[in-house]
Amino acid sequence: MESGLIVLGIIVFLVILFPWQAAGFFAVVAIAWYLHNEHEKAETAKRAEEERLKHEAYVKDLIRRFGKVNADRILVGDIWVGQTQEMLLESRGHPGYIQQHQLKTKYKEVWSFDRVGKGKYSTSVTLENNIVTSYKI
């Protein structure tokens, strides 16, 4: 902020000292400001287009791997019985906590999401042999 005031003071001083050059100076400043803003707009549009294309490719990949119906559910973050572990990872990301159990005939995990306090989570998902068998939100 202070450096901006110094620059402003210098500009005012130069305009007072050389009034015949002030119009040219302000024209240069206005052009530089305009070009900077146009460059920023172009960069923002470019980044938005890159993000759109990246998301579009991700959606196509989900559809290819899991089908349209499951891809749509994954994109909105759904959890459902019968969902595979891979689908759950795509839908909700990595869990905050995993509790693992090796039983005689199956492998069971309880994944916890959405931390609400120290060691507490609002969503738990039970997987047996890497398939969602139940969940609690």
Give residue 122's pLDDT band: very low, low, confident or very high (50, 70, 90).
very high
- Residue found by looking up tokens 């199956």 in the block: 106
d(CA 47, CA 44): 5
Of 26 and 96, the structure prediction assigns the larger pLDDT to: 96
Exposure letters 56-82 (e unless 16+ CB within 10 A, then b): eeeeeebbeebeeebbebbeeeebeee
Give the pairing of strands 107-117 and 131-136.
unpaired
Per-residue pLDDT of 98-108, as tens digits, reads 999 998 899 99
The domains of the chain are located at 2-64, 79-136
CATH fold, domain 79-136, is Beta-lactamase Inhibitory Protein; Chain:B, domain 1 (3.30.1450)
Question: Does the pLDDT at position 8 exceed 70?
Answer: no
pTM, two decimals, is 0.70
The rounded distance, in Å, linking the Cα atoms of 100 and 79 is 19
pLDDT tens per residue across span 21-51: 666 666 667 667 777 778 888 999 999 999 9
